[in-house]
Structure 1
C-alpha cells in the first residue's frame, strides 16, 4: 500500500457486514448477529440507522423535476450520493452547449471543492464522449486536476481515436507521483509502442535496505509496478530487447518475463548462450510456462498460490526455452547451474537431463501424523467425564493462562492444522483475530464439538483415485493439475487431478472430536486465552 493502514472505531455493533449512506446523510449498518454458515432461522441479523446528534436530514429532491442549475449544485456538493444522482440525471438529459460550458467552468474553478471538480470532469467525459477530448486536454494542463483529466481521456478505450501520446509522456516528468501514475496507466491503455522508451526508466525498482511486509506502506513500488504493467500491455518487444545491455536492463527483464513471444525467447536464449547471467536465465525459466486459458471452471476455495501461474501449461516456445537453458548451462559454472535448478524448482519445471533440484520454499514443519499427549490427573475432572455443557460453564468462569494455552495448542495437535500468525504457510482455518470473530462460548463449542459448525471453505472431502485409494481431508490448495489436502491426522497429501475417480463432500469436520477430551475445564480456559491472544499486527 501507499499508506499506513489504520482504523478508527466509531460504532460498536455485533458482526457488522455492510454499510451504506443515503442521499439525505443517514447511515445504515447491517449486522449478521446470530447468523451461521447454514440456515439458522429467520430471526437473524438487523439493520441500524445512524444519524448524528442534532442532525435533521432533509428529503432528497426528485432530480427529474429540478433544473440544471440545481443539478450542478448537487453535483459539486459535499454528499457523494447526491453527486452521483445529479450526474445520472445530467447524463440522462444529454449533451448541450450550455451543459458543456458549465462543466468546463466547474472543473477549472479553484473555489469548487476538488471532489466536485472531479465529478464535473467525468460527467463531461461521459456526456460528450470522444468529443470531450479537446476540453480534457486543456484541463490536463491544470496542475490541480491533471491526474483526473488524464484518466478521463483514456477512460474508454473505444474513444481513443486521434489521441496522441504527448500529453501523457510529458506528464511522466511531473513532480506529483499521482500524475506520473495516471500517465503510465493511460499510456498502457493508449497502446502506443513509441512511448516505451519514455516509460521504461519508471519500471526500475528502487533498492531497499529492508523489504516492507505486505501490510506496510511501500509507495516506492507503485510507479515501477504501474510502468511494468503498462509496458506489458503495449508489448514493445524491440525497445525492451534493445535495452538489455543498457542502464535499464533490470527493468527491461522485469517486463519481458511477462511477454510470451517467440522473438523474446529467441533473443534471451541467444543472449544467455553468450552471457549466462542469473537474471536472463531466471527470465527464461519464467517464460517456460504460460497461464492456461480459462475454461469457465471454478478454482475452488484454496487455489494454488505458489505462482507465478495457476494453471501452468506449455506453449509454442517452451521447447525453445528448454533448449536455450541447456545451451547456456553447457559450460556454465556450478553456481550458475545450481541457480537455474533453484528457479526450476520454484516454477515446478522438470527438464530431461537437467534435474529440477530441491525446492527452496520454506515449510511449516515435518509432514508427519500428530501425536496427542496422554491425559494426566483425576479422570473425574476430564472433559470427557464432565461433558460439554459443564466443561464450558467451568471454563468460562476461569481466567485462562496464555502461556499454558500455547503449550496445550501443541500437545493437543491443534498446530497440525491451524495457522496462528499472518504469513504462515496455509493449512486449516486461520486463527489470527479468531477472538474478534467468535464469542468465547462459540469457540469452546467448536473445540469440543467440531462437527457443530464447519468453517466456511474447510469442508471435508473424500477422494477416490483410479487405483482405488481413498484420501479424506480438507483442501488446502487446488491447482489445474494437483489437489492438496490435509488429513485428520495433520498429514499433507498431494493428489494428481488426473488420478481422481471420485470427489465426494462429507458432512463431518476433518477436525476429529475428542482432541480436548483429556483436558480439564481449567486447561480448556487456558487454550481459550491463547486463542483470544492471537491478534493481527
Structure 2
C-alpha cells in the first residue's frame, strides 16, 4: 500500500508563466519594469553607466545551452525619466555575455566566442568595446584584454555554469573578476602575463589588460563581486548543485586562501573562513549600494542576488578586527534575480531571469528599475564634459558611482593630480572621499607616488589605504621600501597590520621576513597531536571494477568490529559496496554468518544497508552477477559495527562493488576494532569553514607573504624560537629543497626539540605536491574534499622526505605524530604501520555523463545535481505511458488532476505541456521553492480553538475556506472561527520527492506531463 506522506505535490509547475512581472519591494521603495522580454530576455548580467544608460547582457543559452548567435548586449535609455526604457539599440552581438562594466565611452565585457562556422565555444575572454560617438552601437569588434579566462573544454562539455562570470571595477582602477571553479588554464593578458589557477577565486587586471594576478583563491562557484568604498570585496559562493556545501558569504582579504575544495573541510586552520553558511541557494549578482538619494536604512549596504531564492539580500556588516560579522536580511524579491547595478542618479536596476530555464528562452526575463518613494530624477552630467575642478569636487560626492566615474576621468587630467592629493590629505573630508583620492592619486602619479603615499600613511585615519596603494602595483614599486611598511605590522589598528603584511608580501624583500614572522603565529595555544585510531586490521587501497578481495582478519582481541567503506575520492556516486559472505569463525573452524546476528549500529552515505540487498534496494549480486543472499550491501561512506561473539578468532569475507555499481564506483574497505580516522567517516571532524575567525587573518596573510617571497631560510632559522609556529606553517607550504633540507637539519637541533612534531608535520605535508593543472579535467559538482591536494604527485624533495621520516619511525620516535599526519595527508609513505590511505592518483569525474548506466540506476535523481539531471534529460526521452503510471504511483494525483472533468485539487496539470518546456517542468519538481504557482501559495491557518493547519486553499467563500494539506487531505474551516491566516514563502511540496527515481523514470514522468497540452 502506498504511504500518503510520500506524495509528489507540484505547486510551482505554472509559476514561471503566472508570477507577476514586478519586484516586491519594501514600502520605502517603488519599482517598475524597465524593459520586458521582447527587448531583454534572459538578462544574464547588466551594468549602468553613471549617466544612466543601461547595458544588458542577453544570454539565450543560459547556463547549459550551446551554439552560436544566442547572445547580445542591449543598450537601454530612459529619455524622459519615467522609469521605462523608451530607446534601445543592439550595442553588440556577442556570445555568453557574463559581466559588464561601463566606463566613459568604453564597455568592458566578459564573454565567450562561438564561431558560426565551428558551432562550439572556442574560448572565453575579457574584452573591451568602445562607442566613441555614443550612438548606442559599438564601433567595432571587441578587443581582447585577457584571452582564455576559462578552460574551453569544460564550457564545451557542460555549458557556461561553473565558468568565469561577473566583473566589477574598484576605486583602485583594477577590474576584479569572479572565477568559478572551472578555474583558469593559460589565461594571457595584453602584456604577455600568463596565469593558471586550479579552482575558483578572484582575479584582477588593469583596464588595459596588463598586470593580471590572482587576488584570492579557493572559492567554489562565485558569480559576481561587490566592492565597497573602502575596497572591501564580497562574494557569494553559488551552490545551485553539488553536495555538502551551501551558499557562503565571503569577505575577501588580498592573497587569502579560502580552501575549496581541498582545505575547507579537513585543513580549516589554514584558511580564511567564510562569514556564514546560508543554506541552499544560488548566488548571482552583487554590489555595494551607496547612493545619497536612498534612505539610510537601505544605503551603505552589501546586496547580493540569490537566483534560487528570487531574493536580493542585504548583508548587514559589523566590523570585527580586519574583517566583519554579518546578518542577512531579505530586501527585494524578484523572480530569479541575476544582477544589480546603479547609476549616479540613484536608480537601481535589476535583472530577472524569470523562468527562462537552464538553456534560455526568448520569451522570459526582464529588467526592473527601483528607486525610493518620492525620488526625483536629477540628471548626472557626463564626466567628460566637466572641468578639472568639477571632477576633483566630485570625489567629495556621497555617491560611490559618481566618485568612480570622476576618478576614471581624472586619470586623463594630469594637471589635477595635486588637487586630488590635497583631498587625500584633507582630514575634514569624508573618509570614503579620502580613500577615493588616495587610489586616484596613485594611478595618476604611478611609480612616483611612493613618497606622497608614505607621508599619507602617517595619518592613522587613512594609513590602511596608503599602505595598500604603495604596493598596489608590482610594476610600480620604485621608491617603496620595507621601512615604509614594517611599522604598520605593529599598528593598533588590525586592518593596518593586515595591509602592511599584504604590502610586504608584494614588495618581496626577504629581509623583511623576520618582521612578518613576528605576526605569523596562529592564535591560541598549539593543540597536541591526537593519537591516531588503532591501525586497521585490514585495509584495501581505493579500487574500482568487478574484482573482489579476500578478508581474513585475526579478531581474537576485538570486543567490537568496525566494517567501514569509504569513498575512493573520485566524486562518483556509484559507490555500492558489499561484504560478501561475511562470517565470524572460532578456534575450531565453526562459522557464524553475520546475517544471523544483529548489528550494533549501521550508517551509510546513501541508500539501504542490508543482507541480500544492494544500496539501491535491489538483489545483491557480485560484479559477475552471482546472487549473494548472505552478503551485506551498503554505500560509501558507511560504518557497520558488530559486537564480536565470545571465542571468535577470525573475521572472513570477500569485499567488492555490488553489481548495481556497474564497476564504476571507487571505494576502500577497512576492518578495525575502533572507529577508523578516515575522512568521510563519522570520526572525521569537519572544520568551521563558515564561521568568522578574525584572529587568523593577520597570521594567515603573514604566512602567505613569507611563502610568496620564498623566505625558507628565515623560516627555518626561526624554528626553535618564539615564532616557531608561524615559521612551520609557512614551511609546510614551501615546496623547495631549501625548506626540506633546512627542516631535516633543524630536527637534530637541541633548540628545536620542542618543535620536532611540527617539523615532522611540515615534512610529511611537503612529501606530495599538487600536480600542475593542464585544463583537461574538472572535479565536477561533487569533488573530493579530503585534501590537502586534489591530484597529489611526488616531486624532487619527496624521496629525501620519505627516507628521513622512515628513519625517525624506525627509531620509534614520534610515531603517533607520523602516523596521524601520514593518514591525514594521504601521503602513503611506506613502512608506516598505521596502514596506507588511498594513494592512487584520483582522476576527477569528467563533466560528461554515462547516460546508459544512469538511466538504469534506481535513485539516481537524488544523487545528482539539478543541472546534471537537466543535462541527462536532454538525451533520455522517456515513455509517457510509464510516466502516467508514475504520476499515480508517486502520489501526484493526491494534489493534482490532469482531466478537466475531475474535481480540482491543487495546480491543474492538464495543460502544463503547453505552458512549460521539459526543462522547466523538471526544475519545478526538483526545486519546488524556486517559485510558487499563483493561487496555490502555502497558507498557515490558526483557529480560535487553537487548531492549526498548513496547506493551500482550494476554494473559499465568505463563510468558509477549503484547504488541502501535504498529504492531499481536504479540510474545511468556518471563516468566523479563523484567528489568523498567514501566507508563507515556501512551497507545499517538499524538496527531494523525486529522489527515488532513476533518470529514465524521471524522464518518463516529465514526458507524460509535457504531453498534457489541454
Relative distance call for 1:202 and 1:437 in structure 2 (3 A) is farther
Partner of 2:700: 225
Match of 1:294 among 745, 756, 773: 773
Residues 32-431 of structure 1 mapped to structure 2, 5 A cutoff = 32-39=353-360, 41-93=361-413, 95-96=414-415, 99-207=416-524, 213-272=688-747, 275=753, 277-302=756-781, 303-333=783-813, 336-355=814-833, 357=835, 385=888, 390-393=893-896
DSSP-derived class of the 1:354 partner: coil
Relative distance call for 1:383 and 1:296 in structure 2 (3 A) is closer
Q: Distance in 2 between matches of 1:348 and 1:13?
A: 46
Q: Distance in 2 between matches of 1:388 and 1:179?
A: 61
DSSP-derived class of the 1:160 partner: coil
Q: Distance in 2 between matches of 1:213 and 1:434?
A: 28
Indicate if the aligned counterparts of 2:719 and 2:746 stay in contact, CA closer than 8 A. no
DSSP-derived class of the 1:4 partner: strand
Relative distance call for 1:384 and 1:158 in structure 2 (3 A) is closer
Q: CA deviation at 1:434?
A: 6.2
Structure 1 unaligned segments of length 5 or more: list them. 361-368, 372-381, 399-432, 451-488, 490-508, 518-537
Relative distance call for 1:10 and 1:42 in structure 2 (3 A) is same
Relative distance call for 1:233 and 1:443 in structure 2 (3 A) is farther
Indicate if the aligned counterparts of 2:770 and 2:791 stay in contact, CA closer than 8 A. yes
Relative distance call for 1:356 and 1:350 in structure 2 (3 A) is farther
Q: CA deviation at 1:233?
A: 1.0
Q: Distance in 2 between matches of 1:241 and 1:385?
A: 70
DSSP-derived class of the 2:330 partner: coil
Q: Distance in 2 between matches of 1:67 and 1:436?
A: 53
DSSP-derived class of the 1:72 partner: helix
Residues 2-21 of structure 1 mapped to structure 2, 5 A cutoff = 2-21=323-342
Q: Distance in 1 between matches of 2:392 and 2:692?
A: 38
Relative distance call for 1:358 and 1:262 in structure 2 (3 A) is closer
Indicate if the aligned counterparts of 1:272 and 1:328 stay in contact, CA closer than 8 A. no
Indicate if the aligned counterparts of 1:103 and 1:124 stay in contact, CA closer than 8 A. yes
CA deviation profile, 1:468-498 (whole Å, cap 9, x unmatched):
xxxxxxxxxxxxxxxxxxxxx9xxxxxxxxx
Q: CA deviation at 1:449?
A: 5.9
Q: Distance in 2 between matches of 1:385 and 1:70?
A: 71
Q: CA deviation at 1:385?
A: 3.7
Q: Distance in 1 between matches of 2:731 and 2:341?
A: 43
Q: CA deviation at 1:114?
A: 0.9
CA deviation profile, 1:30-82 (whole Å, cap 9, x unmatched):
1222132234x322122110011111121111211211111112222111111
CA deviation profile, 1:251-300 (whole Å, cap 9, x unmatched):
11001001112122122223446758322111111001112222133424
Residues 515-530 of structure 1 mapped to structure 2, 5 A cutoff = none
Q: CA deviation at 1:437?
A: 3.7
Indicate if the aligned counterparts of 2:858 and 2:998 stay in contact, CA closer than 8 A. no
Q: Distance in 2 between matches of 1:328 and 1:6?
A: 50
Q: CA deviation at 1:168?
A: 0.8
Q: Distance in 2 between matches of 1:63 and 1:316?
A: 57
Larger strand percent: 2
Q: CA deviation at 1:353?
A: 2.9
Partner of 2:344: 23
Q: Which moved more, 1:317-326 or 1:292-301?
A: 292-301
Q: How many residues align?
A: 404
Relative distance call for 1:8 and 1:34 in structure 2 (3 A) is same
DSSP-derived class of the 2:372 partner: coil
CA deviation profile, 1:325-357 (whole Å, cap 9, x unmatched):
011112124xx3243223222222223333462
Q: CA deviation at 1:10?
A: 2.4
Q: Distance in 2 between matches of 1:55 and 1:448?
A: 46
Q: CA deviation at 1:397?
A: 6.6
Relative distance call for 1:448 and 1:147 in structure 2 (3 A) is closer
CA deviation profile, 1:351-404 (whole Å, cap 9, x unmatched):
3333462659xxxxxxxx999xxxxxxxxxx9764676523438x979xxxxxx
CA deviation profile, 1:128-187 (whole Å, cap 9, x unmatched):
101112111111111111110111110100111232111211111110000000000000
Relative distance call for 1:387 and 1:218 in structure 2 (3 A) is closer
Q: CA deviation at 1:112?
A: 1.4
Relative distance call for 1:387 and 1:168 in structure 2 (3 A) is closer
Structure 2 unaligned segments of length 5 or more: list them. 1-274, 276-322, 528-685, 839-856, 860-884, 898-903, 907-925, 937-986, 1006-1014
Indicate if the aligned counterparts of 1:270 and 1:324 stay in contact, CA closer than 8 A. no
Q: Which moved more, 1:272-281 or 1:239-248?
A: 272-281
DSSP-derived class of the 1:172 partner: helix
Q: CA deviation at 1:7?
A: 1.7
Relative distance call for 1:250 and 1:393 in structure 2 (3 A) is same
Indicate if the aligned counterparts of 1:273 and 1:327 stay in contact, CA closer than 8 A. no
Alignment RMSD: 3.5
Relative distance call for 1:389 and 1:84 in structure 2 (3 A) is same
TM-score, normalised to structure 1, is: 0.68
Q: CA deviation at 1:11?
A: 1.5
Indicate if the aligned counterparts of 1:206 and 1:220 stay in contact, CA closer than 8 A. yes
Indicate if the aligned counterparts of 1:16 and 1:31 stay in contact, CA closer than 8 A. yes
DSSP-derived class of the 1:293 partner: coil
Q: CA deviation at 1:320?
A: 0.5
What stretches of structure 1 move > 6 A for 4+ residues in a row? Answer: 208-212, 440-443
Q: Which moved more, 1:132-141 or 1:201-210?
A: 201-210
Larger helix percent: 1
Q: Distance in 2 between matches of 1:133 and 1:217?
A: 34
CA deviation profile, 1:219-253 (whole Å, cap 9, x unmatched):
11111111111111112222111111111111110
Residues 450-469 of structure 1 mapped to structure 2, 5 A cutoff = none
